[in-house]
Amino acid sequence: MNTKGLALIITFSGLAFILNPAISGIGIPYPLLPGLIFQIWEIPTLVSFLLFGWKIGLPVAGINSFFLLTIYPSMSQPWYWLASFVSVTSMTLGVVIAIKLMSHRSQENHSAPLTKTLPASLALGILLRVVFMAPVMVLILSVLTSPPVALLGVMKFVLPPQAIFNVIVPLYMIPASFLIAKVINKNLKIGKVTI
């Protein structure tokens, strides 16, 4: 990886660190499940994916997840990093698939207009985030729940609110990330932007 790539990874990872509620205090607790927070720390990660693709975005997601493992206070703290990594990368995968599908369907094979790309990105981002996070939550709950017989009872109370949370987060995260990526690209002329 070249120096520019490393600098971009460090910059976007640093932004994610700073926006973490443990540092910035920016976050709203999710009333249905303690430990989950409506936050904005994933926005720099998604913006890095939109502007530079997987080569920059994936390391940013990984570094942010490691950062969460070391500092984020939560009931499920030892596992929060995994949930964060899976949630942001699965949501991003949905966004990337939607952008590719919409670009492929556009008449001139150029970027599709935002009016088509954003709804498709929201739909696929939400769908993949919910689908991928369900087994991760089952894994986390199976480790945290004792005795194992209580797991089914816990899952009935945790999985539905957790799925609702994973629907709500992309509803603000994806549009904000699209807007920020567009502004950055307009001002810095990155040129490789995927939106």
Q: Return the SS3 of 28.
A: strand
Q: How high is the pLDDT of residue 112?
A: 59
Place of tokens 């990594």: 85
DSSP string, 70-101: HH---TTHHHHHHHHHHHHHHHHHHHHHHHHH
Distance CA 181, CA 195 (A): 8
Residue 193: inside a domain, yes or no? Answer: no
Greater model confidence, 51 or 194: 51
pLDDT tens for 113-153 read 667 889 999 999 999 999 999 998 888 877 776 666 677 77
Decide if 44 contacts 19 (C-beta within 8 A).
Answer: yes
Asked whether residue 162 is assigned to any structural domain, the reply reads yes
Task: Confirm whether pTM is higher than 0.95.
Answer: no
Q: Does 112 or 75 have the greater pLDDT score? A: 112
pLDDT tens digit sequence for 53-62: 999 999 999 9
Residue 66 pLDDT = 86
pLDDT value of position 33: 84
Residue 109 or residue 30, greater confidence = 30
d(CA 87, CA 133): 6
Q: What is the CATH number of the domain that holds 132?
A: 1.10.1760.20
State the pLDDT at residue 90. Answer: 96
Structural domain contains residue 169: yes
112 belongs to a structural domain: yes
Number of domains in the chain: 1
- Greater confidence (168 vs 142) lies with 168
- Does the CA dihedral 55-26-167-153 come out positive or negative? positive
Mean per-residue pLDDT for 9-32? 90
Q: Is 106 helix (H, G, I), strand (E, B) or coil?
A: coil
Q: Say what the pLDDT of residue 191 is.
A: 55
- Quick one: which of 103, 89, 87, 115 has its CA closest to 194? 103
Tokens of 30: 């999710």
The residue segments making up the domain with residue 120 are 3-188
Helix, strand, coil share of the chain (percent; to 5): 75, 0, 20
Residue type, 67: F
Identify residue 184 by its one-letter amino acid code.
I
Would you say residue 194 lies in a domain? no
Tokens of 31: 């009333």
